Amino acid sequence: MANLDKASVRSEVSRLKADFEKLCAEGKITCESQAIMTSLFLVVELILAIFLERTTKKDTTNSSIPSSQTGKDESALGRAGSKGKADNKAAAQNRRTVETVTLSKALTCDVCGEDLTDVPCSHVERRTKIDIVFEKVVEHVDAEIKQCPTCEATVKGRFPADLHGPLQYGDGLKAFVINLLVCQMVALNRVQKLVTSMLEVMIAEATLLKFVLRLHQALETWEAQAVEQLLKASALHVDETSLRVERKNHWIHVYSAGDITLKFLHRKRGKEAIESINLIPRYGGAIIHDCWSSYFAYQHCGHGLCGSHLLRELTFIVDAHGYRWAKNMKRLLQESCVTVSKSADKKLTVIELTNLQKRYRAILTRGEKELPVIPPKPSGKRGKLAKSDAHNLWERFKTHEAAILLFAKEPHVAFTNNRAEQDLRMAKVKQKVSGCFRAEEYAHAYCRISSYLQTMANRGYNPLIAIQMALAGNVPTTGRE
């Protein structure tokens, strides 16, 4: 006991307590001594517990202290670059449903006790329980090794095509991990712990990330085919939102039509990104957007502006100024939207469209008189004159009449751009959960994988099955099957 630490003190107290209990069992300790020593051991254990708590250092692993108030964990350095196991392209057909039917027989009458064994059944009442049982499947394949008696060559049996090395993980496990990381946005460390608790095998974080990159590579052909399908669509919903990658601001650009959703990551937001993605420059239909100026640079496309954005801005103008033109324009757009949605052709007739345009222009004419006059620009002064939001909105209605009313003319053009905004919504949730992506390659992987899963969800596919199909190379390129 010359050198004491936490473990030695704890073990010494436990040893003394065990010796005392042994003496008490042998009857060598009086009742008075037992009572005194029992109380003494209670006091010693209490003091020991307090001592161990006071001398134990708290950090993020054992307390609620934030990581910013703790030092670096040197034991974690060097693990980020470790390599994971190689994956495979095996077909994933591992989903099964085990359904059983048990008959609960009525043998005796609950009222009079009559034997009902030979009485025929008139009908049955069924109650059902649906449950999930996680099953770890380990498949071993042994290849025989023989020596030819004629030429003395060593011959080995062939392994299945999906067994590339001594150990690999199946597509079912990969799909489960990718679904948690991408769809459910669970932290990487928590996914690792969950998989460990289920399989009793610790899979490295680098290996889990390899699953994501493997699916990203497997979907490269699907993405190219989806782009070609979008180019054939009559209308295309487009939008963009910011995303933090490597401590810098990037942008996710979304393109949606029908049941297809595609998202691309780029450092820029405007025309440079649109040219790099190279989808709109090749597109000839109508693009629906929120009046971002970069889209109007492509005049070979039709343009439809999001009605939801316009209605919200009109509401602000009404609340701020009470302008009658804003109230009338808001009412006109809402009435037109209802009329188009109720029509059989999902568009207005020629007469109805002409009347709409007349009312539209009349509202703007009266609105111009409500707005304050913009003073002339002083000679020699550079830049644009500052205008109110109401005046800027009025000019937007004046300039983009055709784009704002396109929904009433073309049946394939929606009144709002909500489709693109909904497709981007989970990206913002991802950023709120994770903060940012530390590597750009994983941000690109997130965009492609989430695009694929949203598209397959629109077609009615379960995400786990959709991921396994992609890993096995069986991705459908057409619509719902």
Residues 283/256, Cβ–Cβ less than 8 Å: no
* CA–CA gap between residue 403 and residue 147 (Å, rounded): 78
CB 264 within 8 A of CB 252: yes
**Predicted local confidence at residue 164, as pLDDT:** 83
In a domain, 237, yes or no: yes
- For 315-363, write each residue's pLDDT tens digit: 888 888 888 999 999 999 999 999 999 999 999 999 999 999 999 999 9
- pLDDT of 297: 94
Question: Domain containing 304: what range?
Answer: 221-373+387-471
The answer to whether the CB of 252 falls within 8 A of the CB of 309 is: no
Determine the Cα–Cα distance for residues 267 and 246; give it in Å rounded to an integer.
11
Residue partners of 334: CB distance under 8 A and separation at least 6: 311
What is the radius of gyration, based on Cα positions, of the chain?
A: 35
Look at residue 300 and tell me if it is in a domain. yes
> Are 254 and 289 spatial neighbours (Cβ–Cβ below 8 Å)?
no
User: Is 234 contained in some domain?
Assistant: yes
**180 located within any domain:** no
pLDDT at site 113? 83
Domain-located, residue 457: yes
User: What local confidence, expressed as pLDDT, does residue 50 receive?
Assistant: 55
Q: How many domains does the chain have?
A: 1
Position 212 in a domain: no
Domain assignment present for 455: yes
Pick from 278, 277, 276, 336: nearest CA to 307: 336
The beta strands (E) that lie in 195-322 are given as: 235-245, 248-257, 260-266, 286-289, 302-305
What are the C-alpha distances in Å from 337 to residues 143, 302, 348, 481?
68, 19, 10, 32
Whether 15 is covered by a domain: the verdict is no
Distance (Å, whole) CA 40 – CA 305: 82
Question: pTM above 0.85?
Answer: no
Amino acid at position 311, single letter: L
pLDDT of residue 90: 36
Which residues, in sequence order, are bridge partners of residue 261?
Answer: 256
In this prediction, residue 116 carries a pLDDT of 85
CB 178 within 8 A of CB 170: no
Q: Could you say which residues of the chain have pLDDT below 70?
A: 1-10, 42-43, 45-95, 375, 377, 380, 383, 385-386, 477-481
Residue 33: the pLDDT is 80
pLDDT the model gives residue 226: 95
476 alpha-carbon distance from chain centroid: 21
